[in-house]
Amino acid sequence: MAIVSVIGAGSWGTALAHLLENNSHDVTVWSCVESEINMLREHHVQKEKLPGVKLSDKTVFTSDLKEAVTDKNVIVLAVPSPFVRSTAKNMAPFIKDDQIIVNVAKGIEESSLMSLSQVIKDEIKNADVCVLSGPSHAEEVGAGIPTTIVVGTSKKDTAEYLQNIFMSDVFRVYTSSDVTGIELGAALKNVVALAAGIADGLGYGDNTKAALITRGMAEIARLGIVMGGRLETFYGLSGIGDLIVTCASMHSRNRRAGILIGQGKSYEEAMKEVNQIVEGVYAAKAGIKLAKEHNVTMPIIEQVNKVLFEGASPKEAVYELMVREKKVENLDIRVLYQNNPEITW
């Protein structure tokens, strides 16, 4: 049995707490929102964000961050990406050396262009920071629907330890040392999911969505390989797997927001209606900044930015993608990959 704290009581944090307690671990759940903690203490259900998933009577709920992170084997950081730095900074004074912290948020910090694991390490320099990612809607994990996911860390023993903690007969966990590839796939797939939702909102069909998924992943892989990620990661669970589920499911807040934008709403209106953090809106600007910094062409990410922030119409964006100059499929990815050294434990 491990002693685990989940920092963040949203849908994903609650689903992971439920999974961990079902795996017979000692679980604490933290939220900075006192009303949220009171609700969980009274009902043991996150009634607003994950109704129907009841947490154990043994689960501890607290709004005291020191209590939540002290003397834990594993800390799962499950706050939305815009709040990762501030939460990590507040945690830092209470964190012991080599504390395992598992980040499950997906994004890139726009101001620094750091991945979220880099953000955490920037604030908590003595921590052993890992990532958990893959096609895993909270609603389905909470319901015990079979799910596969990947844990990424530079330390093989930590990866295997976490694999044992999270893995169950309905939650299969793979390990990887490619933290960079996992995090870039996780963050930028949300931007492509916005594009897929926009296409749905415009009334386009399966052909369009398939094109966005495949060419979107080509863009993500181009950037990721230049930044040190591995090609197989982008065509694995945290890459194409997560991209497919986020582009296709109505559980996806990014797809739902994209549908509303395709129907004519602004991204602010769409986010308000979805009533949850839409990570792709935050990742879009960071993604195009990284593309320019590394001299990588990312036309889908570019057009999403134009729709979100520059007033371009969704139909105009699709037209611009369709009339781009002629290209050879995937040649650029092969060349980049051949020049990228293999990363091993």
* Judgement on whether residues 154 and 208 belong to the same structural domain of the protein: no
Q: Which residues neighbour 39 within 8 Å (Cβ) at sequence distance 6 or greater?
A: 45, 46, 47, 48
Amino acid at 299: P
pLDDT, residue 84, reads: 97
Q: How far apart are CA 134 and CA 182, in angstroms?
A: 8
Relative to beta strand 50-54, strand 147-152 is unpaired
Residues 229 and 170 in one domain: no
Q: Does 162 lie in the same domain as 192?
A: no
Check whether residue 14 and residue 111 sit in a common domain. yes
Q: Which domain holds residue 23?
A: 3-177
Query: Which pLDDT belongs to residue 275?
Result: 86
CB contact set of 20 (below 8 Å; sequence gap of 6+): 2, 4, 6, 27, 76, 165, 166
Domain count, the chain: 2
CATH number for the domain including 329?
1.10.1040.10
Domain annotation covers residue 344: no
The three-state DSSP-derived secondary structure of 209-258 is: HHHHHHHHHHHHHHHHHHCCCCHHHHCCHHHHHHHHHHHHCCCCHHHHHH
Strands 147-152 and 128-133, how do they pair?
A: antiparallel
Pick the closest to residue 92 from 77, 80, 104, 82 (CA basis). 77
Task: List Cβ neighbours of 149 (8 Å cut-off, separation of 6 or more).
Answer: 132, 133, 134, 135, 136, 166, 171, 172, 173, 174, 237, 238
Residue 274 lies in a domain: yes
Residues 295 and 319 reside in one and the same domain: yes
Q: Identify whether 24 is part of a domain.
A: yes
Distance of alpha carbon 19 from alpha carbon 292, whole angstroms: 40
Q: Which residues of 208-231 are buried (b: 16+ CB within 10 A; e: fewer)?
A: bbebbbebbbbbbbbbbbbbebbb
Angle ∠(253,105,312) on CA atoms, nearest 5: 45
Of the three residues 177, 198, 227, the one that is the final residue of a domain is 177
136/235 same-domain check: no
Same domain, 27 and 88: yes
Residue from 49, 72, 106, 189 carrying the catalytic annotation: 189
Q: Is 189 a catalytic residue?
A: yes
Instruction: Name the domain boundary from 113, 147, 177.
Output: 177
168 and 200 in a single domain? The answer is no
Same domain, 120 and 207: no
Which stretches in the chain have pLDDT values below 50?
343-344
What 3-state class would DSSP assign to 312?
coil
Contacts of 153-159 spanning 24+ positions with Cβ under 8 A: 153/128, 153/129, 153/177, 153/179, 154/179, 154/345, 155/128, 155/345, 156/345, 158/100, 158/128, 158/130, 159/130
Q: What pLDDT score was predicted for residue 3? A: 98
Spatial separation of the C-alpha atoms in residues 160 and 296, rounded to whole Å: 34
Angle, in degrees to the nearest 10, between helices 279-293 and 206-226: 50
Instruction: Give pLDDT tens digits for 77-136.
Output: 999 999 999 999 999 999 999 999 999 999 999 999 999 999 999 999 999 999 999 999
Q: What is the pLDDT of residue 334?
A: 52
Please tell me the pTM assigned to this model.
0.92
172 and 303 both lie in a single domain:
no
3-state secondary structure of 330: coil
Residues 51 and 116 in one domain: yes
Q: Mean of the per-residue pLDDT values for the chain?
A: 94
Residues 196, 99 share a domain:
no
Provide the token pair at 338. 């051949």
Judge whether 343 lies within some domain: no
* Tokens standing for residue 211: 């094109």
Contacts (Cβ under 8 Å, ≥6 apart) of 136: 147, 149, 242, 245
Measured distance CA(137)–CA(241) in Å, rounded: 12
Of 161, 177, 193, the position where a domain reaches its end is 177
CATH of the domain at 13: 3.40.50.720
